[in-house]
Structure 1
Amino acid sequence: MIRVLVVEDDPMLLELNRRFVDKIDGFSVEDVASNGEEAIKSLKNKKIDLVILDIYMPKMDGMEVFRKVRKQNKVIDFILVTAANDTDKIEEALKLGAVDYLVKPFEFERLNQSLLHYKARKKLLIKKPFVSQEEIDQLFMGEYKEKEEKELQKGLHKFTLNRVKGFLNENKEALLSSENISEKLAMSKVTIRRYLDYLESIGDIQKKIEYGTRGRPSYRYKYIDKNKKS
Protein backbone atom coordinates (compact mmCIF):
# COMPACT_ATOMS: atom_id res chain seq x y z
CA MET A 1 0.00 0.00 0.00
CA ILE A 2 1.31 3.43 -0.99
CA ARG A 3 0.90 5.86 1.93
CA VAL A 4 -0.08 9.37 0.85
CA LEU A 5 -0.05 12.82 2.43
CA VAL A 6 -2.36 15.35 0.74
CA VAL A 7 -1.39 19.01 1.26
CA GLU A 8 -3.87 21.68 0.10
CA ASP A 9 -4.95 24.99 1.65
CA ASP A 10 -8.42 24.97 0.04
CA PRO A 11 -10.63 22.87 2.41
CA MET A 12 -12.99 21.74 -0.35
CA LEU A 13 -10.17 20.67 -2.69
CA LEU A 14 -8.38 19.00 0.21
CA GLU A 15 -11.38 16.81 0.95
CA LEU A 16 -12.05 16.06 -2.73
CA ASN A 17 -8.43 15.04 -3.31
CA ARG A 18 -8.42 12.92 -0.16
CA ARG A 19 -11.55 11.03 -1.20
CA PHE A 20 -10.34 10.57 -4.76
CA VAL A 21 -6.93 9.18 -3.79
CA ASP A 22 -8.44 6.86 -1.18
CA LYS A 23 -10.64 5.27 -3.83
CA ILE A 24 -7.71 4.27 -6.03
CA ASP A 25 -6.57 0.71 -5.46
CA GLY A 26 -3.15 0.51 -3.84
CA PHE A 27 -3.25 3.99 -2.23
CA SER A 28 -4.11 5.07 1.31
CA VAL A 29 -4.29 8.67 2.53
CA GLU A 30 -2.45 8.55 5.84
CA ASP A 31 -2.84 12.25 6.63
CA VAL A 32 -3.83 15.65 5.26
CA ALA A 33 -2.39 19.12 5.84
CA SER A 34 -3.68 22.62 5.04
CA ASN A 35 -0.30 24.41 5.05
CA GLY A 36 3.43 23.77 4.84
CA GLU A 37 4.05 23.72 8.59
CA GLU A 38 1.41 21.02 9.09
CA ALA A 39 2.95 19.06 6.23
CA ILE A 40 6.42 19.12 7.82
CA LYS A 41 4.95 17.99 11.15
CA SER A 42 3.06 15.14 9.48
CA LEU A 43 6.16 13.96 7.59
CA LYS A 44 8.07 13.94 10.87
CA ASN A 45 5.48 11.83 12.71
CA LYS A 46 4.09 9.53 10.01
CA LYS A 47 5.47 7.11 7.46
CA ILE A 48 4.69 8.61 4.05
CA ASP A 49 5.65 7.37 0.57
CA LEU A 50 4.08 10.06 -1.61
CA VAL A 51 3.09 13.71 -1.05
CA ILE A 52 0.53 15.45 -3.25
CA LEU A 53 1.65 19.00 -2.53
CA ASP A 54 0.06 22.34 -3.36
CA ILE A 55 2.74 24.98 -3.98
CA TYR A 56 1.02 28.23 -3.02
CA MET A 57 0.03 28.02 0.66
CA PRO A 58 0.17 30.24 3.77
CA LYS A 59 2.90 30.03 6.46
CA MET A 60 5.23 27.87 4.35
CA ASP A 61 4.79 27.27 0.63
CA GLY A 62 5.10 23.92 -1.08
CA MET A 63 8.50 24.54 -2.63
CA GLU A 64 9.98 25.30 0.79
CA VAL A 65 8.49 22.06 2.12
CA PHE A 66 9.95 20.20 -0.87
CA ARG A 67 13.42 21.72 -0.31
CA LYS A 68 13.41 20.93 3.42
CA VAL A 69 12.50 17.28 2.83
CA ARG A 70 15.16 16.90 0.15
CA LYS A 71 17.82 18.37 2.48
CA GLN A 72 16.86 15.74 5.05
CA ASN A 73 17.46 13.01 2.43
CA LYS A 74 14.13 11.37 3.16
CA VAL A 75 12.96 8.77 0.64
CA ILE A 76 9.65 10.46 -0.19
CA ASP A 77 8.19 11.20 -3.62
CA PHE A 78 6.26 14.35 -4.58
CA ILE A 79 3.53 15.26 -7.02
CA LEU A 80 3.32 19.06 -7.09
CA VAL A 81 0.14 21.04 -7.70
CA THR A 82 -0.11 24.74 -8.54
CA ALA A 83 -2.52 27.26 -10.00
CA ALA A 84 0.34 29.04 -11.78
CA ASN A 85 2.03 27.65 -14.86
CA ASP A 86 5.39 28.89 -13.63
CA THR A 87 8.31 27.53 -15.69
CA ASP A 88 10.91 28.45 -13.05
CA LYS A 89 9.11 26.42 -10.40
CA ILE A 90 8.57 23.55 -12.81
CA GLU A 91 12.28 23.49 -13.57
CA GLU A 92 13.19 23.55 -9.86
CA ALA A 93 10.62 20.85 -9.10
CA LEU A 94 12.12 18.57 -11.75
CA LYS A 95 15.64 19.18 -10.44
CA LEU A 96 14.48 18.25 -6.94
CA GLY A 97 13.01 15.02 -8.28
CA ALA A 98 9.25 15.61 -8.50
CA VAL A 99 7.53 12.62 -10.10
CA ASP A 100 4.82 14.82 -11.65
CA TYR A 101 3.52 18.38 -11.79
CA LEU A 102 -0.19 19.25 -12.12
CA VAL A 103 -1.51 22.69 -13.05
CA LYS A 104 -4.89 23.74 -11.63
CA PRO A 105 -7.61 23.31 -12.59
CA PHE A 106 -6.82 19.71 -13.54
CA GLU A 107 -9.18 16.86 -14.35
CA PHE A 108 -9.25 14.05 -11.81
CA GLU A 109 -8.52 11.67 -14.67
CA ARG A 110 -5.13 13.41 -14.98
CA LEU A 111 -4.42 12.84 -11.29
CA ASN A 112 -5.59 9.26 -11.71
CA GLN A 113 -3.12 8.73 -14.56
CA SER A 114 -0.32 10.24 -12.49
CA LEU A 115 -1.02 7.93 -9.55
CA LEU A 116 -1.34 4.82 -11.71
CA HIS A 117 1.94 5.61 -13.45
CA TYR A 118 3.61 6.13 -10.08
CA LYS A 119 2.24 2.82 -8.76
CA ALA A 120 3.39 1.00 -11.91
CA ARG A 121 6.89 2.43 -11.53
CA LYS A 122 7.08 1.40 -7.87
CA LYS A 123 5.82 -2.08 -8.67
CA LEU A 124 8.32 -2.59 -11.48
CA LEU A 125 11.32 -1.39 -9.48
CA ILE A 126 10.38 -3.48 -6.45
CA LYS A 127 9.73 -6.71 -8.35
CA LYS A 128 12.66 -6.59 -10.78
CA PRO A 129 16.34 -6.37 -9.82
CA PHE A 130 17.12 -5.57 -13.47
CA VAL A 131 15.02 -3.72 -16.03
CA SER A 132 15.27 -3.48 -19.81
CA GLN A 133 15.75 -0.31 -21.83
CA GLU A 134 12.18 -0.64 -23.08
CA GLU A 135 10.84 -0.73 -19.52
CA ILE A 136 12.96 2.27 -18.56
CA ASP A 137 11.66 4.17 -21.60
CA GLN A 138 8.08 3.36 -20.66
CA LEU A 139 8.61 4.72 -17.16
CA PHE A 140 10.47 7.91 -18.01
CA MET A 141 8.52 8.75 -21.15
CA GLY A 142 5.20 8.32 -19.42
CA GLU A 143 3.98 5.55 -21.71
CA TYR A 144 3.42 2.87 -19.07
CA LYS A 145 -0.13 1.59 -18.72
CA GLU A 146 -1.30 -1.20 -16.49
CA LYS A 147 -2.83 -4.27 -18.05
CA GLU A 148 -6.32 -3.25 -17.00
CA GLU A 149 -5.99 0.07 -18.83
CA LYS A 150 -4.70 -1.56 -22.00
CA GLU A 151 -7.63 -3.97 -22.06
CA LEU A 152 -10.26 -1.34 -21.32
CA GLN A 153 -12.97 -1.46 -23.99
CA LYS A 154 -13.41 1.42 -26.39
CA GLY A 155 -15.82 4.02 -25.02
CA LEU A 156 -15.13 3.20 -21.36
CA HIS A 157 -13.17 5.58 -19.19
CA LYS A 158 -10.83 4.67 -16.33
CA PHE A 159 -12.12 7.37 -13.97
CA THR A 160 -15.77 6.30 -14.39
CA LEU A 161 -14.81 2.65 -14.10
CA ASN A 162 -13.07 3.38 -10.78
CA ARG A 163 -16.16 5.21 -9.49
CA VAL A 164 -18.46 2.28 -10.29
CA LYS A 165 -16.00 -0.31 -9.01
CA GLY A 166 -15.33 1.71 -5.85
CA PHE A 167 -19.04 2.03 -5.08
CA LEU A 168 -19.56 -1.72 -5.52
CA ASN A 169 -16.56 -2.41 -3.30
CA GLU A 170 -17.92 -0.12 -0.57
CA ASN A 171 -21.21 -2.04 -0.70
CA LYS A 172 -19.77 -5.49 -1.35
CA GLU A 173 -22.10 -7.23 1.10
CA ALA A 174 -25.18 -6.08 -0.83
CA LEU A 175 -26.84 -7.21 -4.04
CA LEU A 176 -27.35 -4.00 -6.02
CA SER A 177 -29.46 -3.24 -9.07
CA SER A 178 -28.28 -1.02 -11.90
CA GLU A 179 -31.03 1.42 -10.84
CA ASN A 180 -29.57 1.63 -7.31
CA ILE A 181 -26.09 2.31 -8.63
CA SER A 182 -27.34 4.80 -11.24
CA GLU A 183 -29.17 6.81 -8.58
CA LYS A 184 -26.30 6.85 -6.08
CA LEU A 185 -23.65 7.82 -8.65
CA ALA A 186 -25.92 10.24 -10.56
CA MET A 187 -25.22 8.49 -13.86
CA SER A 188 -27.57 7.16 -16.54
CA LYS A 189 -28.76 3.55 -16.34
CA VAL A 190 -27.44 2.88 -19.85
CA THR A 191 -23.94 4.05 -18.88
CA ILE A 192 -24.00 2.07 -15.63
CA ARG A 193 -25.02 -1.13 -17.42
CA ARG A 194 -22.10 -0.80 -19.85
CA TYR A 195 -19.62 -0.64 -16.98
CA LEU A 196 -21.36 -3.44 -15.10
CA ASP A 197 -21.20 -5.67 -18.18
CA TYR A 198 -17.49 -4.93 -18.50
CA LEU A 199 -16.78 -5.62 -14.81
CA GLU A 200 -18.67 -8.91 -15.08
CA SER A 201 -16.67 -9.87 -18.19
CA ILE A 202 -13.35 -9.47 -16.34
CA GLY A 203 -14.62 -11.31 -13.25
CA ASP A 204 -14.78 -8.38 -10.83
CA ILE A 205 -18.51 -8.64 -10.11
CA GLN A 206 -21.13 -11.36 -10.00
CA LYS A 207 -24.52 -10.99 -11.70
CA LYS A 208 -27.60 -12.77 -10.32
CA ILE A 209 -31.07 -13.01 -11.81
CA GLU A 210 -34.12 -12.33 -9.66
CA TYR A 211 -37.73 -12.85 -10.72
CA GLY A 212 -40.50 -10.52 -9.65
CA THR A 213 -44.09 -11.40 -8.86
CA ARG A 214 -45.02 -11.17 -12.55
CA GLY A 215 -42.09 -13.26 -13.63
CA ARG A 216 -40.16 -10.36 -15.12
CA PRO A 217 -36.44 -10.95 -14.44
CA SER A 218 -34.17 -8.32 -12.98
CA TYR A 219 -30.46 -8.35 -12.31
CA ARG A 220 -28.51 -7.78 -9.14
CA TYR A 221 -24.77 -7.20 -8.93
CA LYS A 222 -22.26 -7.97 -6.22
CA TYR A 223 -18.56 -7.13 -5.93
CA ILE A 224 -16.21 -10.11 -5.82
CA ASP A 225 -13.67 -9.65 -3.07
CA LYS A 226 -10.65 -11.46 -4.51
CA ASN A 227 -8.64 -10.93 -1.33
CA LYS A 228 -11.23 -12.69 0.82
CA LYS A 229 -10.30 -16.21 1.79
CA SER A 230 -12.82 -18.78 0.67
Structure 2
Amino acid sequence: MIGVLLVDDDPLTIEVHRRHLERIDGFDVVGECHDARSAVSAILEAAPGAIDLVLLDVTMPDGTGVDVLRHVRARGDAVDVIAVTGVRDADIVRQMVALGVTQYLVKPFTFAVFSDRLRQYVDFRRRASDAAGPATQEEIDALLGALRPPAGTVLPKGLSAESLERIAHAVRVGGPLSAVEAAVQTGLSRVSARRYLEHLVDAGRVDRIPRYHGRGRPESEYRWRS
Protein backbone atom coordinates (compact mmCIF):
# COMPACT_ATOMS: atom_id res chain seq x y z
CA MET A 1 0.00 0.00 0.00
CA ILE A 2 1.12 3.54 -0.78
CA GLY A 3 0.86 5.70 2.34
CA VAL A 4 -0.63 9.12 1.57
CA LEU A 5 -0.56 12.32 3.64
CA LEU A 6 -3.35 14.79 2.78
CA VAL A 7 -2.51 18.46 3.24
CA ASP A 8 -5.18 21.13 2.71
CA ASP A 9 -6.65 23.90 4.85
CA ASP A 10 -10.18 22.98 3.73
CA PRO A 11 -11.58 19.95 5.64
CA LEU A 12 -14.14 19.33 2.89
CA THR A 13 -11.38 19.10 0.27
CA ILE A 14 -9.48 16.63 2.40
CA GLU A 15 -12.62 14.51 2.76
CA VAL A 16 -13.14 14.53 -1.02
CA HIS A 17 -9.54 13.45 -1.59
CA ARG A 18 -9.91 10.71 1.00
CA ARG A 19 -13.05 9.37 -0.69
CA HIS A 20 -11.38 9.50 -4.10
CA LEU A 21 -8.41 7.51 -2.80
CA GLU A 22 -10.72 4.91 -1.26
CA ARG A 23 -11.96 4.19 -4.80
CA ILE A 24 -8.45 3.50 -6.12
CA ASP A 25 -6.68 0.28 -5.16
CA GLY A 26 -3.28 0.51 -3.54
CA PHE A 27 -3.56 3.73 -1.53
CA ASP A 28 -3.93 4.23 2.22
CA VAL A 29 -4.46 7.65 3.85
CA VAL A 30 -2.07 7.72 6.81
CA GLY A 31 -2.54 11.31 7.94
CA GLU A 32 -4.19 14.70 7.46
CA CYS A 33 -2.80 18.21 7.94
CA HIS A 34 -4.57 21.54 7.66
CA ASP A 35 -1.63 23.92 7.65
CA ALA A 36 1.97 24.19 6.48
CA ARG A 37 3.61 23.86 9.88
CA SER A 38 1.89 20.61 10.78
CA ALA A 39 2.59 19.24 7.30
CA VAL A 40 6.34 19.83 7.70
CA SER A 41 6.29 18.17 11.12
CA ALA A 42 4.25 15.20 9.91
CA ILE A 43 6.61 14.54 7.00
CA LEU A 44 9.86 14.95 8.90
CA GLU A 45 8.73 13.05 12.01
CA ALA A 46 7.13 10.13 10.17
CA ALA A 47 8.65 6.70 10.53
CA PRO A 48 10.74 5.65 7.51
CA GLY A 49 8.45 4.43 4.74
CA ALA A 50 5.26 5.53 6.49
CA ILE A 51 4.53 8.35 4.03
CA ASP A 52 5.17 7.61 0.37
CA LEU A 53 3.14 10.42 -1.19
CA VAL A 54 1.87 13.84 -0.13
CA LEU A 55 -1.13 15.48 -1.78
CA LEU A 56 -0.14 19.07 -1.07
CA ASP A 57 -2.19 22.25 -1.25
CA VAL A 58 -0.33 25.44 -2.20
CA THR A 59 -2.19 28.12 -0.21
CA MET A 60 -2.59 27.69 3.55
CA PRO A 61 -3.06 30.15 6.44
CA ASP A 62 0.49 29.89 7.79
CA GLY A 63 2.49 29.27 4.62
CA THR A 64 2.49 27.75 1.15
CA GLY A 65 3.19 24.43 -0.43
CA VAL A 66 6.44 25.94 -1.65
CA ASP A 67 7.41 26.64 1.98
CA VAL A 68 6.59 23.06 2.96
CA LEU A 69 8.70 21.63 0.15
CA ARG A 70 11.64 23.93 0.87
CA HIS A 71 11.70 22.82 4.50
CA VAL A 72 11.47 19.08 3.83
CA ARG A 73 13.93 19.15 0.92
CA ALA A 74 16.41 21.14 3.03
CA ARG A 75 16.27 18.28 5.55
CA GLY A 76 16.99 15.77 2.82
CA ASP A 77 13.51 14.23 2.69
CA ALA A 78 12.70 12.97 -0.83
CA VAL A 79 9.02 12.11 -0.26
CA ASP A 80 6.95 12.16 -3.45
CA VAL A 81 4.55 15.09 -3.76
CA ILE A 82 1.58 15.85 -5.99
CA ALA A 83 0.44 19.46 -5.81
CA VAL A 84 -3.36 19.72 -5.69
CA THR A 85 -4.38 23.35 -5.87
CA GLY A 86 -6.35 26.08 -7.55
CA VAL A 87 -3.20 28.17 -8.01
CA ARG A 88 -2.33 28.57 -11.69
CA ASP A 89 0.50 31.09 -11.35
CA ALA A 90 3.33 30.02 -13.67
CA ASP A 91 6.04 31.13 -11.23
CA ILE A 92 4.55 29.00 -8.45
CA VAL A 93 4.35 26.04 -10.82
CA ARG A 94 8.04 26.46 -11.72
CA GLN A 95 9.02 26.63 -8.05
CA MET A 96 7.04 23.53 -7.18
CA VAL A 97 8.53 21.62 -10.11
CA ALA A 98 12.03 22.73 -9.11
CA LEU A 99 11.35 21.36 -5.62
CA GLY A 100 10.41 17.97 -7.01
CA VAL A 101 6.63 17.66 -7.36
CA THR A 102 5.76 14.71 -9.54
CA GLN A 103 2.40 16.12 -10.67
CA TYR A 104 0.60 19.49 -10.53
CA LEU A 105 -3.16 18.97 -10.47
CA VAL A 106 -5.34 22.08 -10.82
CA LYS A 107 -8.71 22.30 -9.08
CA PRO A 108 -11.49 21.73 -9.94
CA PHE A 109 -11.10 18.34 -11.58
CA THR A 110 -13.14 15.21 -12.08
CA PHE A 111 -12.55 11.90 -10.32
CA ALA A 112 -11.43 10.49 -13.67
CA VAL A 113 -8.61 13.04 -13.90
CA PHE A 114 -7.63 12.46 -10.26
CA SER A 115 -7.63 8.70 -10.75
CA ASP A 116 -5.56 8.87 -13.92
CA ARG A 117 -2.89 11.01 -12.22
CA LEU A 118 -2.68 8.60 -9.30
CA ARG A 119 -2.46 5.61 -11.61
CA GLN A 120 0.31 7.36 -13.53
CA TYR A 121 2.09 7.77 -10.21
CA VAL A 122 1.71 4.05 -9.48
CA ASP A 123 3.18 3.31 -12.92
CA PHE A 124 6.04 5.69 -12.16
CA ARG A 125 6.84 3.87 -8.90
CA ARG A 126 6.72 0.49 -10.63
CA ARG A 127 9.02 1.61 -13.41
CA ALA A 128 11.40 3.21 -10.91
CA SER A 129 11.58 -0.07 -9.01
CA ASP A 130 12.08 -2.11 -12.18
CA ALA A 131 14.85 0.21 -13.33
CA ALA A 132 16.84 -0.02 -10.10
CA GLY A 133 20.57 0.24 -10.73
CA PRO A 134 22.06 1.46 -14.02
CA ALA A 135 19.16 2.33 -16.33
CA THR A 136 19.07 2.34 -20.10
CA GLN A 137 17.96 5.44 -22.00
CA GLU A 138 14.71 3.65 -22.87
CA GLU A 139 14.04 2.91 -19.20
CA ILE A 140 14.73 6.54 -18.27
CA ASP A 141 12.43 7.80 -21.03
CA ALA A 142 9.70 5.39 -19.92
CA LEU A 143 10.13 6.44 -16.28
CA LEU A 144 9.75 10.12 -17.09
CA GLY A 145 6.93 9.43 -19.53
CA ALA A 146 4.95 7.55 -16.87
CA LEU A 147 4.22 10.87 -15.14
CA ARG A 148 3.29 12.68 -18.31
CA PRO A 149 -0.44 12.86 -19.10
CA PRO A 150 -1.51 12.46 -22.72
CA ALA A 151 -0.50 15.49 -24.74
CA GLY A 152 -3.25 18.02 -25.06
CA THR A 153 -4.57 18.58 -28.55
CA VAL A 154 -7.31 20.66 -30.09
CA LEU A 155 -10.38 18.45 -29.97
CA PRO A 156 -12.61 18.02 -33.01
CA LYS A 157 -15.79 20.08 -33.00
CA GLY A 158 -18.44 18.56 -30.76
CA LEU A 159 -16.01 16.79 -28.38
CA SER A 160 -15.37 18.05 -24.86
CA ALA A 161 -12.26 17.53 -22.73
CA GLU A 162 -14.32 16.38 -19.74
CA SER A 163 -16.17 13.69 -21.69
CA LEU A 164 -12.92 12.59 -23.30
CA GLU A 165 -11.41 12.14 -19.83
CA ARG A 166 -14.42 10.06 -18.75
CA ILE A 167 -14.14 7.77 -21.77
CA ALA A 168 -10.36 7.46 -21.41
CA HIS A 169 -10.72 6.59 -17.72
CA ALA A 170 -13.41 3.98 -18.46
CA VAL A 171 -11.23 2.22 -21.03
CA ARG A 172 -8.06 2.47 -18.99
CA VAL A 173 -9.63 1.06 -15.83
CA GLY A 174 -12.41 -1.19 -17.12
CA GLY A 175 -11.36 -2.01 -20.66
CA PRO A 176 -11.39 -3.43 -23.18
CA LEU A 177 -14.82 -1.97 -23.89
CA SER A 178 -17.14 -1.76 -26.83
CA ALA A 179 -18.75 1.58 -27.69
CA VAL A 180 -22.00 0.36 -26.10
CA GLU A 181 -20.23 -0.63 -22.87
CA ALA A 182 -18.32 2.65 -22.76
CA ALA A 183 -21.58 4.54 -23.25
CA VAL A 184 -23.21 2.72 -20.34
CA GLN A 185 -20.26 3.41 -18.02
CA THR A 186 -19.99 7.11 -18.87
CA GLY A 187 -23.61 8.07 -19.47
CA LEU A 188 -22.93 9.16 -23.05
CA SER A 189 -24.83 7.99 -26.10
CA ARG A 190 -23.38 5.09 -28.09
CA VAL A 191 -22.67 7.39 -31.03
CA SER A 192 -20.87 9.93 -28.82
CA ALA A 193 -18.89 7.23 -27.04
CA ARG A 194 -17.75 5.82 -30.37
CA ARG A 195 -16.60 9.29 -31.52
CA TYR A 196 -14.47 9.71 -28.41
CA LEU A 197 -13.10 6.19 -28.70
CA GLU A 198 -12.15 6.73 -32.34
CA HIS A 199 -10.48 10.00 -31.37
CA LEU A 200 -8.39 8.10 -28.81
CA VAL A 201 -7.50 5.55 -31.50
CA ASP A 202 -6.36 8.36 -33.81
CA ALA A 203 -4.34 9.87 -30.95
CA GLY A 204 -2.54 6.57 -30.38
CA ARG A 205 -3.89 6.10 -26.85
CA VAL A 206 -6.29 3.23 -27.60
CA ASP A 207 -6.18 0.18 -29.87
CA ARG A 208 -9.27 -0.94 -31.79
CA ILE A 209 -9.53 -4.73 -31.96
CA PRO A 210 -12.27 -7.09 -33.22
CA ARG A 211 -14.46 -8.90 -30.74
CA TYR A 212 -16.08 -12.02 -32.19
CA HIS A 213 -19.46 -13.38 -31.11
CA GLY A 214 -19.67 -16.62 -33.05
CA ARG A 215 -20.73 -16.09 -36.65
CA GLY A 216 -21.28 -12.73 -38.22
CA ARG A 217 -19.48 -9.45 -38.30
CA PRO A 218 -17.21 -8.82 -35.30
CA GLU A 219 -17.85 -5.93 -32.92
CA SER A 220 -15.11 -3.37 -32.31
CA GLU A 221 -13.72 -3.10 -28.81
CA TYR A 222 -11.23 -0.60 -27.51
CA ARG A 223 -8.22 -1.40 -25.34
CA TRP A 224 -5.95 1.11 -23.58
CA ARG A 225 -2.50 1.06 -25.11
CA SER A 226 0.11 0.32 -22.42
- Shared fold, TM over 0.5: yes
Look up the match of 1:99: 102
Counterpart code for 1:152:
G
Q: How many residues align?
A: 158
How far did residue 56 of structure 1 move? 0.6
Look up the match of 2:219: none
Q: 1:144-164: per-residue Cα shift (whole Å, max 9, x none)?
A: 99xx9387123567xx79xxx
The answer to whether the Cα contact below 8 Å between 2:58 and 2:87 also exists between their aligned partners in 1 is no
Look up the match of 2:221: none
Identity %: 34
Look up the match of 2:13: 13
Counterpart code for 2:91:
D
Counterpart code for 2:122:
K
How far did residue 38 of structure 1 move? 1.8
Look up the match of 2:175: 152
Look up the match of 2:207: none
Using a 3 Å threshold, how does the CA distance of structure 1 residues 81 and 67 change in structure 2: closer, same or farther? same
The answer to whether the Cα contact below 8 Å between 2:85 and 2:107 also exists between their aligned partners in 1 is yes
Q: 1:76-112: per-residue Cα shift (whole Å, max 9, x none)?
A: 0110122121100111111111100011112222221
Scaled by the length of structure 2, the TM-score of the pair is: 0.62
1:126 pairs with 129, 133, 136, which one? 129
RMSD after superposition: 2.7
Using a 3 Å threshold, how does the CA distance of structure 1 residues 35 and 140 change in structure 2: closer, same or farther? same
Using a 3 Å threshold, how does the CA distance of structure 1 residues 106 and 60 change in structure 2: closer, same or farther? same
How far did residue 33 of structure 1 move? 0.8
2:65 pairs with 55, 62, 65, which one? 62
Q: 1:102-157: per-residue Cα shift (whole Å, max 9, x none)?
A: 11112222221111111111112213435443443333232699xx9387123567
Q: In structure 2, what is the Cα distance between the partners aligned to 1:131 and 1:24?
A: 29
Q: Structure 2 regions of 5+ residues with no counterpart?
A: 151-167, 188-226
Deviates more, 1:133-142 or 1:78-87: 133-142
Q: Structure 1 regions of 5+ residues with no counterpart?
A: 162-186, 188-230
Look up the match of 2:142: 138
Q: In structure 2, what is the Cα distance between the partners aligned to 1:93 and 1:87?
A: 10
Look up the match of 2:212: none
